[in-house]
Amino acid sequence: MPTGPTTTAVKSTSRRTEPTTTTHRQTLGRAIRSEWIKLRTLRSTWIGMGAVVLLLVGLGAIAAAVSTGSVTTPEEGGGFGNGDPLSTVLTGADFAVLLVGVLGALAGAREYGSRMILATIAAVPRRWQVVVSKVIVLTGVVLPTALIGVLAAFGVGMGILSAGDSATVALTDDGVLRSVLGMAGYLTAIALMGLGLGILLRSVASSIGVLIGGVLVLPTLAGALLPASLDSVLKFLPSSAAAAFTTVRGAGDEVLGPTAGALVLAAWVAVTLGASVLVITRRDA
């Protein structure tokens, strides 16, 4: 238990010989460094990133083991993977999407909850720099983590499949490397959409709600409830656009091509982040 500070000495902070406004300029690089310090000094960042890797590898390994028959589920046969080795080993991706979405929303809305945003905006009043810095720092943490996670899940999962004499695919097979890297990109994109929504809505809870609703619930609901004629619209939803480049499957009318899918997802990210820049620069902090 710390006893209260007891100093009464006033240490002069005077260094008034030289105006500090010329020696201490605020730059975008420094704003990025500030955001990096903020992100890395939160334990939740590293717990979250560790959990993303664990989820991807762990669930992928379990799904692979189940599909080889070396582990049986109560309702024999299991629903994992549907026989596609790649989607089997990336089973954890759906949960990882939830997790990075939450981490992104936290990165955007957390400071509104603590009111730390006041200090942040006072220190970096060109507010677009705050958003850009958060985007760069979050990408710098989530993208490598997601890459490690999906590659490890791929390696571990394929190892288990191969040990169980099940069908496997190699990274060199057609479209496999693209799908694996695409999954890492998708996870990063979701984190960035969470960040944008967090800044827009200023609430962790509501930004997570909107993100999960838009990414996971809406496509399923809409696919089930809307007439098939609208499928051509549904393929532009973020999750459907991502499916176009994170899975290896025959192209059909209801799915975009890999490149188009990546561009559509990038557009979703750009719109969300662009809106957050517009809003944060216009409203009162």
Partner 1 sequence: MIELQQLSKRYGDLCAPPSRKLAVDGISATIRPGVVTGFLGPNGAGKSTTMRMILGLDRPTSGAALVNGRPYVDSPAPLAEVGALLDAGAVDSSRSARNHLLALGATVGIGPRRVDEVLASVGLTEVAHKSAGSFSLGMGQRLGIAAALLADPAVLILDEPVNGLDLDGIQWIRALVTELAQEGRTLLLSSHLMSEMQLVADHLLIIGQGHILADTSMDDFIEHASGGGVVVASPDAGALAPLLAADGVTLTSTEAGRFEVHGLTADVIGDIAAGHGLRLHQLAPRAASLESAYLELTRDSVEFAAA
Alpha-carbon distance 280 to 276, whole Å?
Answer: 6
- Please tell me whether residue 228 binds partner 1 under the rule CB under 8 A: no
Binding residue (CB under 8 A) for partner 1 from 66, 86, 107, 124: 124
C-beta of 75 vs 284, nearer to partner 1: 284
Pick the stretch among 9-17, 135-143, 227-235, 263-271 that binds partner 1 (CB under 8 A). Answer: 9-17
C-beta of 3 vs 82, nearer to partner 1: 3
CB of 204 to partner 1, least distance (A): 13
- Please tell me whether residue 114 binds partner 1 under the rule CB under 8 A: yes
- Please tell me whether residue 10 binds partner 1 under the rule CB under 8 A: yes
- Please tell me whether residue 249 binds partner 1 under the rule CB under 8 A: no
Alpha-carbon distance 253 to 26, whole Å?
Answer: 50
Alpha-carbon distance 279 to 117, whole Å?
Answer: 14
Alpha-carbon distance 285 to 282, whole Å?
Answer: 9
Pick the stretch among 74-82, 92-100, 119-127, 259-267 that binds partner 1 (CB under 8 A). Answer: 119-127
C-beta of 116 vs 205, nearer to partner 1: 116
Those residues whose C-beta lies under 8 Å from the C-beta of residue 161, and which sit 6 or more positions away, are: 64, 67, 68, 85, 88, 89, 167, 168
- Please tell me whether residue 227 binds partner 1 under the rule CB under 8 A: no
- Please tell me whether residue 47 binds partner 1 under the rule CB under 8 A: no
C-beta of 114 vs 172, nearer to partner 1: 114
CB of 237 to partner 1, least distance (A): 31
Region for residue 202 given its phi and psi (left: phi exceeds 0; alpha: psi -120 to 50; beta: otherwise): left
C-beta of 6 vs 172, nearer to partner 1: 6
Q: Nearest-5° angle of CA 53, CA 59, CA 63?
A: 145
Alpha-carbon distance 267 to 237, whole Å?
Answer: 11
Q: Which runs of consecutive H residues, i.e. helices, occur in 12-115?
A: 20-23, 28-40, 43-68, 85-89, 93-114
C-beta of 16 vs 82, nearer to partner 1: 16
Binding residue (CB under 8 A) for partner 1 from 69, 70, 72, 116: 116
Alpha-carbon distance 280 to 266, whole Å?
Answer: 21
Pick the stretch among 55-63, 76-84, 122-130, 142-150 that binds partner 1 (CB under 8 A). Answer: 122-130
One-letter identity of residue 226: L
Positive/negative CA dihedral, 246, 251, 253, 257: positive
Cβ neighbours, 10 Å, residue 15? 9
CB of 278 to partner 1, least distance (A): 14
Residues forming contacts to partner 1 in the complex (CB under 8 A) are 2, 4-16, 19-26, 30-31, 33-35, 37-38, 41-44, 110-111, 114-119, 121-126, 282, 284-285
